[in-house]
Amino acid sequence: METKKYSSYAEIERDLEILKIEKEIHYQKIVLSIEKTKESIVPSKSISFVADVYDKVFSGTYGTILKILIPYAINWFINRKRGD
């Protein structure tokens, strides 16, 4: 990059203002990119869908039976003997 020669302080000030605005634009692009990444990692619709499915599965008699059986199944899986 070639060194620019200035003939007045006004030119220097103008270029500094341009650089300041470009810096702010790049900063805002980074902030927007971070926000989009957050939204894609934790989509609120998916969480509400999972919560709705959980409520439907674990409600009523079937849900009560599952709530009782799941801890027993987990304990059995953890404590089972491993074959050699």
Exposure of 81 in the CB half-sphere (CA atoms within 13 A): 2
Helices (H), 2-59: 9-41, 44-57
DSSP 8-state code for residue 83: P
Q: What is the pLDDT of residue 45?
A: 67
pLDDT of the chain along its 84 residues, tens only? Answer: 688 899 999 999 999 999 999 999 999 999 999 988 887 776 666 677 777 777 777 777 777 887 788 888 888 888 887 654
Whole-number Å distance between alpha carbons of 37 and 32: 9
Beta carbons of 63 and 57 less than 8 angstroms apart = yes
Q: What is the pLDDT of residue 46?
A: 67
Q: What is the pLDDT of residue 38?
A: 80
Whole-number Å distance between alpha carbons of 15 and 11: 6
- pTM for this prediction: 0.47
